[in-house]
Amino acid sequence: MLAAAAAGFAGAVTAPAALADSAVTVSTTADETSPGDGACSLREAILYAEHLNGSNHDCGATATGTTTINVPAGHYTFSAPTSFAWLNIGGPGPVVIAGTAGTIFDGRGMPMACSWSPAR
């Protein structure tokens, strides 16, 4: 009887559905995180992809699956050398940056403006 009950329970368990991938497009070259301004900066897109955007939904509410960050051509200058300026890319899910020819990331002389970390 116990074996039959266990077999019946095992048949009722299903795997969770895979999360759909998400994509976000950067809409400003400014390095900012002003919530509610309607502009999605590269910094905000990274925070969104890593589920660290909190109540800032300029790039979307919640990223799911693999997040692709589309970075249009442009000159992206990072903030002045402070702890805020550092971009750490990598988090709970994979992040793919799909750039185009003519995309420049300018660290303004910082020895290292961003880092790439494996998914945590």
Residue 86 makes CB contacts below 8 A (sequence gap 6+) with 112, 113, 114, 115
Q: How confident is the model at residue 120 (pLDDT cuts 50, 70, 90)?
A: very low
pTM of model > 0.75: no
47/51 Cα distance (integer angstroms): 6
Q: Render 63-116 in DSSP notation, one character per residue.
A: --SSEEEEE-SEEEEPPSSSTTT-EEE--SS-EEEEE-TTEEEE-TT-S-SEEE
- Range of weakest confidence among 40-54, 78-92, 96-110: 78-92
For the chain, domain boundaries: 20-116
pLDDT tens across 13-60, in order? 666 667 788 889 999 999 899 999 999 998 899 889 888 888 999 999
Predicted confidence at residue 84, as pLDDT, reads 55
Give the tokens for residue 39. Answer: 């502009």
79/63 Cα distance (integer angstroms): 25
